[in-house]
Structure 1
């Protein structure tokens, strides 16, 4: 397990998640979930805020969980969330271009966590 990589993914996820919870436009705009004038509808913002909190919580867990099984569990939850996002957003976002971008970003972040989980234990001295 590459603890430093998992912690870095956790911190980045926690920060982004908190920002999305506070400003849902950060996710709505690149996902094509804005109105024709570029604004995010209140209902959309309400729907996106829990995703931000989910990411903030799972990222915080990755950043702070003790190395070993607790960190692996936090990382696996993050992987499930990222790959789940890829499937759901890839199937439901409004246009093909935003679907492809959302899938690429979600799979990319999930893959970083998988790499962190599968890296040989000797790779990271901070375990």
Structure 2
């Protein structure tokens, strides 16, 4: 089981971040320069946080290498979609570079964990 430690740790970090965002949307909204005053903005942000928590839990609970690779792929695709959406939404704003760096960084970190799942 040592071969899958890195992806599981990344899954724990992802799930923890997702739960934190779901509980306190300002964790995600603040760095983007947005407020969480609107109930609809908080709801959408919580949905993103819970999606991250679910994909992180899938990385933690994956029973085999194949399942782990699927969970990692879902996580990376989610992060890349966040990168694209935030990149477009924050055009012309100073927060754009930071948002792209953070979301792309999560994607790269999780993608790197797939090396630990090499094999059948």
Tell me whether 56-65 or 87-96 shows the greater mean CA deviation. 87-96
Q: Structure 1 residue 6 and structure 2 residue 3: aligned?
A: no
Structure 1 42/90 Cα, relative in aligned 2: closer, same or farther at 3 Å? same
Residues 78-125 of structure 1: CA deviation (Å, up to 9, x unaligned):
000011111110111265321111110111111111111135849xxx
Corresponding residue for 2:18? 17
TM-score (norm. length: structure 1): 0.83
- Please, which of 63, 66, 86 is the counterpart of residue 63 of structure 2? 66
Query: Residue 30 of structure 1 aligns to a residue in which SS?
Result: helix
Unmatched 5+ residue regions in structure 1? Answer: 123-127
Q: Give the TM-score taking structure 2 as reference length.
A: 0.87
Which of 25, 42, 45 is the equivalent residue of 2:42?
Answer: 45
Q: Which has a greater percent of helix? A: 2
Higher relative contact order (CA 8 A, sep 6+): 1
Q: How many residues were matched structurally?
A: 117
Aligned equivalents of 2:117 and 2:79: distance in 1?
23
| Structure 1 stretch displaced more, 43-52 or 88-97 | 88-97
Structure 2 stretches lacking a partner, 5+ long? none
Q: How large is the Cα RMSD of the aligned pairs?
A: 1.9
